[in-house]
Chain A
């Protein structure tokens, strides 16, 4: 579909585009056509989602999660040679708002005029403003300038000057690393902290400054990670294991600050929850695997906001983003327990597997006699006590367990009621769970 004129864009399984390094989303507009009258074989791009980033214009087909992922296309801002300002005419009142620009498409010899037609409710003037801003900011050039050092992040106009200053401190003018031995690392660390300290002080000057500095904080963290990466490459000969260990720890820690392009209300407008929902689906996969397939919504909220660093989302936004998953083809789902506790779980997560583990736990001789508490289950299953209690309550509702409430607390036992014969209450069936319980209970008394 992309034809020869436009590059295709990779998409994640939940339908978010894969961004370049340091690329940041700036604006999203839905129901957008891309047209080019001058090229007869220009692909037909109708009513898709247009994403403006610091580096590219991305066009995603409508309902992108279900169609083939290769149909999303991109146009680098670097190929744009001119953006036409919008003309107010009588005609424009009746037309859908449109933005025109000149761009030199890849195999073409000359630049062609491309028109962005907004059929939806998008704010055309705001988009045009941002388009201008990002095109003029030339973030991609900073990228190539600092390609060797991999330090420059470019980004939006607010933080441009800041990043340029900071990167100057770590590297020589030639762009080569001034990293010699442990003292070199220490010195650079020192400089880093000094500039961080300075940024922190400036950050609290006023609220506006805080917002722009907060973005810088994320960039700093990113930069530290890059430095550690390049550092470990060039220093493998001299560093000892302990240093490597702490570096890896540091890298892990910094990676968790890793959402480079947070979807914000500002950039996505009405599409905010949809895009947030997709981003969350991508993000939550790894923490979910680590937590054994199920996570409390509150934990997800903390993880996610920590990864975003800035542009935090509210609990309501998270809930809305999660409830939108039903509409997308994603691997995770929101689940509400009978108690009202909400969790995120993998679609492949099975209660049966958990029940099997609970049953094994509750039928060992000690637990047969004394039952188990939610915290016992939490320790064995390797999950949070609150979550363990939900699992136990679900197992209870399935008839696997039954409860015992006493001054000692709330405990669960294997359900023996089904094994007891109502016609002869003294009868103990051989090899039944009741029989093993009687054996254990009479041995202890």
Chain B
């Protein structure tokens, strides 16, 4: 850590002059009053006029720094609390082998006492000591692939993840777990669903909605569920495994192409849209919900198709939408546009000219619905029929995000527009459902 992390300006200079570092025991005198405590880091987002002190009681307070008035002295180095980790359990012989690939979420972590910051705990023995139950489920091999916030991930990272998973599978594991920040985990899951074809074993993406440094974190159970599925689930597909409800009782495994983050903060944020979850983890066991799935078969030969075209945009139509946005994409050389239209799959008539031009210029234009639940039906209203005539491709009941990823993937596979359209229309990883089934509450689990 930077030795005066977060301190700026005059206060920083005053601390430097006294030779003070974070973690030092200091005295701060001001207006006839003395505070003693350990200097703590200061957030960069806060003002530059307060010293953060950890008092003997463990509480932090901010003490105002008044130049010319406040006297700061170093008293010595603070005694760091001792760290006595309990011995990690030893993994058992003969258990299934599972690889855990970390991409930046802090699903297993430790807190630094002085800074309160969270550090990933990622070696297998770290994981065992944080979630000892894992040692009863599988022999774990773990590694860090990326340390990136999930909103900073790009299609290039998807390719990297796909290749890494392929190598692990090559190395003969019984399943792969990818820990991932939750914000874009749905996109990555869709991308891997297309990139990893003919999977022999399961690939489970997992994250946490409450950080793992708190006792109430959902991380441990999510991880236990994910590792159990990787080790023993009968399916060989890409899924997202997260809490099914607010309770610490079940993990739902959602197909990578049908899953969406539907809540900003809750544990049950991930939902299967227009389908049920593929399977559940409950009381230590994996229970299948859907019957039609690809079975685990270690002999099956994985097909890796890891290229994605980045010049594809997801465009949400809304009242007042300016069709020039579409023109701009065409002019910039984009190769595909996924529209998130209204209702059954519409955009305003005033957009038709731009949409028609995009298709004429060779772009693939696909239609999804911003309703999230339900299916696009473009033959019901005149506007829909007109859009079909212009060459817009309806994406059935596919999620807009999945359609974006799929179009990126399809255009990554071929330079030929017709072949890309063929791939886009083909059901590759259950991204289309043939039937729209009844789901009360639109499928949100209650």
Q: Do A and B come from one complex?
A: no
